[in-house]
Amino acid sequence: MKLTDVQTQAVEYIGSPTLVVAGAGSGKTRTLTSKIAYLIEKGYTPERILAITFTNKAADEMKSRLLLLTGFTANRFPWVRTYHSACFQLLKRHCTRIGYQNPIQVFASYQQEKVIKDIVVNKLQFDKKFVPSVLNQISNAKNSANPEGYFTAIPTVGAIRLGEVYQLYEQALKNQNAVDFDNILLLARNLLRDFPDIREKYQTYFQYILCDEYQDTNDLNEEITRLLVNNGNLFVVGDDWQSIYSFRMSNVRHFLSFEKTYPNAKIFHLEQNFRSANHIVTIANQLISNNRHKMDKNCFSTIDGGTIQLKEFYSDKDEASWVTRQVNKFILDGIPPGKIAILFRTRFCSLAFEQCLRSMNIRYRMQGGQSFFERREILDLHGYLSASVFPKDDISFERILNIPRRGIGQKMIEKLYTNRNTGESLQEATRRAVHQKMLSPKITQEIHGVLQLLDQIRTLQPNIAIETVINAVNFMDHVKTYAKNDEMDFISRQENIDQLIYAASEKNSIEEYMEDAVLIREDKADDEEKQKQKGVILSTIHAAKGLEYTVVFVVACEENLFPHWKTLDTEESLEEERRLMYVSMTRSERHLFLTSAQIRKGQYDQYRSRFLDEIETAIKATQPKTKTKKKARA
């Protein structure tokens, strides 16, 4: 598709930092990739262009478009990456400056949780119920770019001193030569901030920096970007109207204050929506106009039509029944199930809809469910790969010692931990115990087999390594033990393993594969045709951002649910909830329904959302006024 005039202006402008304020469906990715292609035409080197975004899916899409636009191969764009992936490249190259060694390991979520649990429960003697909250606060502290300051403001969870846990946690990571997901950014920032030679090296190397979804940057993202920019060659794209991730520490103020940060900045507005029909765009504009803190723009669409309908129901069961009947009608009219979405603010709201969809035999999929890499069979196989190349990874080694069961219980593992010398990992201590014959003959034989297998796979291609483990330990028999005697569950897990082997076959080494796997924090979507047929989409609005559907039902629109009761304390929080409603509305291409119920979860007198009142007012304002005829005089 040809660029619009304003897209062309943004693409061809070079001379100062540039902010592209891109409304929903306005072609921001096309503009961003066209900008990179234009820079290459003007003599910039593709290998020296840094283009960063937040999700692997977005980075992959950006790279795919660049290959089509330029005709280059993928290896010409080594720095089209997510923030975490780009920063990890920097961290790997310079980690010895801050006391790490290569290869450096990135802990997965379950490994982080295990370390924190050990500190909170075993070392500090607190209940394990505090572990999720402590993990969340430590993550927030790192993403604030100032952990010490964060812990000054929020010093405790219950009676647990967060600063103390943080220090113990960071030392535990360092002892295992590992970082967690948030450390990648924090340590990369430290390298750029504290080592002028490293900072100047990358400022000189990157000829241009481009950033997608800039409204979602947190303080750490923004600081890293500033530390890398040289000569004002910065191009950022985003939409403050779609800033909905403050719970992940994103800070929309970076977007709104771009001109203050970069006083000579140039601003472009992309206002044409190519996705949604005009009526939907117009009403969404009216809704967001109720926010005070925003960049003004006048979004429009040249697509005629679009329907918006507000419906109120007595109960959530009535609501779900009606929505399901409408879904069935659209499917019978030929709209693919995967182009129909039921969106909600809070996940518990899905239950009534799942029950109704099942009762009518309508297939559905829950968007943003369990990550592929968090499934049990994948974690087990990854444990073998990780223990083979990261000998200090105590968590992975402990996991695989008894997978499949070998009679190595928790007491034996505790004995191995106790046997460690200072600075020795669990695997190193175990190898010494086997060599010195400190264990029973049966246990020695079992552990010796595990160690031999780890040594055998260490230098293999990652897919061959996985297949070797599966065969050596009869892994599929092990999977059957937790597939609940359910044939379909077993087949599903088997398909997951097949997919894992395929993904691993695309990498040259276990280290490279494990790095790629742990940096993926969302599942890659199926191709579009498969997606359409797999079923109606049920999703939280947060998980649906960036996606589009022909028909959208935004359900459970009641006060204290949407807007959520936790967000009613401040104007800033309420405005983010309104942005969330805006995002939900602009997922729809043609048909939009917003519903509420008086009874939900058995609780009566639920009041419909204030946002529905605002939307209804906007709809009435767009309707033509009819003139009443005066009665003729007798």
Annotate 347-373 with DSSP letters as a single string.
GGGHHHHHHHHHHTT--EEETT-S-GG
Task: Choose among 109, 59, 85: nearest CA to 372.
Answer: 109
pTM for this entry: 0.87
Give, as one character, the DSSP assignment of residue 100: -
Interval 237-278: pLDDT, tens: 999 999 999 988 899 999 999 999 999 999 999 999 999 999
Say how far apart CA 494 and CA 379 lie, in whole Å.
14
Using a 10 angstrom Cβ sphere, with 0-12 exposed, 13-18 middle and 19 or more buried, the burial of residue 124 is middle
User: At how many degrees (to 10) do helices 131-143 and 181-194 cross?
Assistant: 30
The pLDDT value recorded for residue 524 is: 44
Region class of 213: left (phi > 0), else alpha (psi between -120 and 50), else beta: left
Which residues are identified as catalytic?
Answer: 28-29, 212-213, 242, 587
- Give the whole-angstrom CA distance, residue 265 versus residue 283: 31
Q: Is the dihedral of CA 37, 38, 39, 40 positive or negative?
A: positive
According to the model, what pLDDT value does residue 522 have?
Answer: 53
DSSP string, 562-609: TTBGGG-S-HHHHHHHHHHHHHHHTTEEEEEEEEEEEEBTTB--PPBP
Residues of the chain with pLDDT under 50: 523-532, 630-634
- Take residue 262 and report the two structure tokens written for it: 């970069």
Q: Which of 230, 175, 184 is nearest to 90 (CA)?
A: 184
Three-class DSSP category at 549: strand
Q: What are phi and psi of 333, to 5 degrees?
A: -80, 0
Structural tokens at position 59: 């980075």
Query: Cα separation of 64 and 72, whole Å?
Result: 10
Alpha helices (H) along 390-509: 394-401, 410-418, 426-435, 441-457, 462-472, 475-481, 487-504
Neighbours of 614 (CB within 10 A): 18
Sort 480 into a burial class: Cβ within 10 Å, 0-12 / 13-18 / 19+.
Answer: middle
User: How many Cα atoms sit within 13 Å of 542 on the Cβ side?
Assistant: 15
Nearest to 622 by CA among 285, 273, 276, 242: 285
- The whole-number pLDDT of residue 425 equals 93
Q: What is the pLDDT of residue 528?
A: 44
Distance CA 24, CA 582 (A): 9
> Both tokens of residue 299?
């979004």
Asked if 305 and 278 count as a contact pair (C-beta separation under 8 A), the reply is yes
- Helix axis angle for 278-288 and 610-622, nearest 10°, is 130
pLDDT of residue 604: 78
Give the pLDDT score at 458: 96
β-pairing verdict for 49-53 and 208-211: parallel
